[in-house]
Amino acid sequence: MKPYLSLLPLLAIACSTPAKNDPNATTTTADTVVVKDTLIAEGEKHFKSLKKLTFGGDNAEAYWSFAGDKLVFQSNNPAWGESCDQIYVFNPFTDDLKADQPKKVSINGGRTTCSYFLPGDSLVLFGSTHQGNAACPAHPEHRSDGKYVWPIYSTFDIYVSDLKGQIRAQLTKTPGYDAEATVSPKGDRIVFTSMRDGDLDLYTMNIDGSDVKRVTNTLGYDGGAFFSPDGTKLLWRASRMKSNEEEAEYKQLLKEGLVMPTKMELYVANADGSDAKKITELSQANWAPFWHPSGKKIIFASNHTAKRGFPFTLYLIDLDGSGLEQVSFSDQFDAFPVFSPDGKHLVFSSNRANGGTRETNLFLAEWQD
């Protein structure tokens, strides 16, 4: 939930030396110029190259197919006729989204979110409000107290669709919010967030929607969960109240269909919810976590060093909460990082290179350790 150009070369051969004041180039020999990838900020040593994938609107939550050759994501790009988040699928290595619109998967209206491939890569699941109303649900009005909130639309349910947009199954049918579903790399279970028991908790189920089990029971928002590469653990973001006043505010916002995501930390547990452990204690908003394919590290977005809640920056951390390392240095919004199954690429959303607009685009990095 939120919210093609050729790869830019790292090396270019030229016949003249760069100007002395050119920050993007250095001379290694008399006739060889090393040119930086201009999308990569200083200090982003893990990015061998960086490719901008989308061009306009807000694009986020891009997730890889099991084969690692497709991405499914949500977008509200006006150039594609969208003003409400919809689901699209494309090949990030061959498709040019600056020239051609990707294939739209959500064709029934409503607001859609949190798409994910199912085993075999011919089906995807996503959350949608279309059965409640085909129109786009309204954004929350600006609050007089100035607090930032996310809407928890009660009409969200989880659906399975083929890549042509034909709904094949509805996996949730309980009243209230059901969304934020992802699939275990083993292909056997789905984890999702639901309000069915009165709080925003995590649940797992079989990929056909059967055998639903609740895995979190502590008051607070539990969401954005992912199975570990071996399917034995869960990783997610959670808010936990530290006072009676915070608890009362959380409960009141839930009654209004809202949640305030400004204070969240990361947790890891066994796939059944047992042995849950907090792995960050950074303050502010630590969210959008994803497993490194090794299962030993986690990449996530955080604003814990920001004085005004901005920017959001990508970090790596060890599974035990040690070894915090800053990954992105754009000084803007960098979030929703997701490793490809083989660990060779990272896709994420960013405000970088948006020409001074408010656009959030997808970027594809070649990853190097």
Q: Is residue 299 part of a domain?
A: yes
The CATH number of the domain where 119 resides is what? 2.120.10.30
- Within-domain flag for 175: yes
Contact 104, 165 (CB under 8 A): yes
DSSP string, 206-249: ETTS-S-EE---SSS-EEEEEE-TTSSEEEEEE----SHHHHHH
Residue 260 one-letter amino acid: M
> SS3 of 255, please?
helix
Say what the pLDDT of residue 37 is: 74
What is the model's pLDDT at position 268? 98
Q: What is the pTM of this model?
A: 0.89
Residue 2's pLDDT is 53
The tally of CA atoms less than 13 A away on the side-chain side of residue 229 is 15
Burial of 158 (0-12, 13-18, 19+ CB in 10 A): buried
Strand pairing report for 345-350 and 313-318: unpaired
- Cα–Cα dist 59/33, whole Å: 34
Residue 184 lies in a domain: yes
Q: Is 197 left (phi over 0), alpha (psi -120 to 50) or beta?
A: alpha
Alpha carbon separation from 163 to 125, 127, 160, 253 (Å, rounded): 10, 15, 10, 36
Pairing mode, strands 103-104 and 86-90: antiparallel
**Amino acid, single-letter form, for residue 162:** D
Q: What is the structure's pLDDT at 141?
A: 86
Domain membership of residue 29 (yes or no) is no
| CB-neighbour burial class of residue 84 (10 A; exposed 0-12, middle 13-18, buried 19+) | middle
pLDDT lower than 70: segments of the chain: 1-36
SS3 content of the chain, % helix, strand, coil (to 5): 5, 40, 55
Determine phi and psi for 130, rounding to 5 degrees. -65, -30
CA dihedral 5, 109, 171, 276 (to 10 degrees): 60
In a domain, 334, yes or no: yes
* Peptide bond just before 311 cis, omega within 30 deg: yes
Domain hosting 193: range is: 46-367
Q: Collapsing DSSP states into helix, strand and coil, what is residue 252?
A: helix
List the one residue out of 155, 157, 236, 160 whose CA is nearest residue 202. Answer: 236
Tokens at 212, concatenated: 């639903």
Q: Is residue 359 part of a domain?
A: yes
Does any domain span residue 86? yes
pLDDT at 25: 40
- Domain contains 30: no
| Confidence (pLDDT) at 71 | 98
The two tokens of residue 320 are 């035990």
The C-alpha atoms of residue 214 and residue 350 are separated, in whole angstroms, by 33
Could you give the strand order of the β-sheet that contains 313-318, starting from the edge strand earlier in sequence?
A: 286-291, 297-302, 313-318, 325-326
Number of domains in the chain: 1
Q: What is the pLDDT of residue 18?
A: 30
| pLDDT one-digit tens code per residue, 224-235 | 999 999 999 999
Q: Alpha-carbon distance 195 to 177, whole Å?
A: 5
Handedness of CA 203, 206, 208, 212 (dihedral sign): negative
